[in-house]
Structure 1
Amino acid sequence: MRPLLPLILTALTLLTAVQAATPALDPNYYPHRPGTRWTYSSGETQIVGAPVIHRGVKVTPVSHQYGSTTYSQDLLEYRADGSVWLRGVNAAGRLSWYSPPLLVYPAGPLQTGQKWQAASGPLRMTVAVTGTAPLKLAAGTFNALILRTESVTGGRSSVQLTYFVPAFGIVRYQTADGSTIDLQR
């Protein structure tokens, strides 16, 4: 029996090493716990609501507010594989449902050089993770992934940069006109 002990220990050591090298799927890689909120320098606050069923799909509403007024609400589907899909947008009392839905984020973790596309109706998006950037903001110091999103709708194209921190969320938006909107808290 003694000669088996070193083999068992070696097998356990290898199994532990493989498990450590395999990234676990973090269910909060893309934050979506109800009550989570982000307030930005533009005055906008985004608030995650409790999941609801819309058209037979479990979606998580993310409200966009200025003061106490909600101007729009994204309906996001967080799938078991870790990907995030935009199923609809509720604005001015009107629900726009995307069929097919738009891939907002593929399953994490995101990596520099990664690209994905999404299209629904006249809207087309191409997203690329272009690198990382250290940011010192009112909300803290971050090493954020830079996501470059090119959107085309109605023949018009625009580019936006989004600075994303895993398990924390979006800490900066740089709009098509070059304006910067930073996370305040």
Structure 2
Amino acid sequence: MRLVSVAAVAANGVIGDDGAVPWPPLPADVEQYRARVADAPVVLGRRTFDSMREDLPGTHQIVVSRRLETLTEPTAVVAADAEEALALASERASDDVAYVLGGATIYELFQPFVDEMALSHVDGQYDGDARYPSWDPDEWTVAAETAYEGFTVREWHRTTRPDRPG
């Protein structure tokens, strides 16, 4: 299974501020993001999941949480850690791909296991309390790039296969 991290990231690494994005709305980014993850399982933290309950992304939501045990949404399951989340994603990935959707702690937790990153590089720098994790540029290459008004989507591929638990 390919594991792909998907995020919108300002030029200074900020991805959020107090649970929201700090830049003006980018409808084209939301559209391309939703289309990308529509047919795959997604891995996300509880707060990110809660913020999306009205319009859940992906076919299955794997919520990483040490506090929750079950969820009422029929497409959602709880995973206690990265190993369990990766196993659940692998079981549910019909196209052999799963996506990591955040927040910041989840991105950091899964960064060592990610094969690809689909990052919307938002124009400008913004203040915020959440950042995308840093990565070694020597381990990554840009495989594709698409410019939009206000942001550019870059698809990064890891040059070496990551080690995964299990």
Q: Same fold (TM over 0.5)?
A: no
Higher helix share: 2
Higher RCO structure, 1 or 2 (CA under 8 Å, sep 6+): 2
Task: Specify which structure has the higher proportion of strand.
Answer: 1
TM-score scaled by length of structure 1: 0.26
Whose Rg is larger? 1
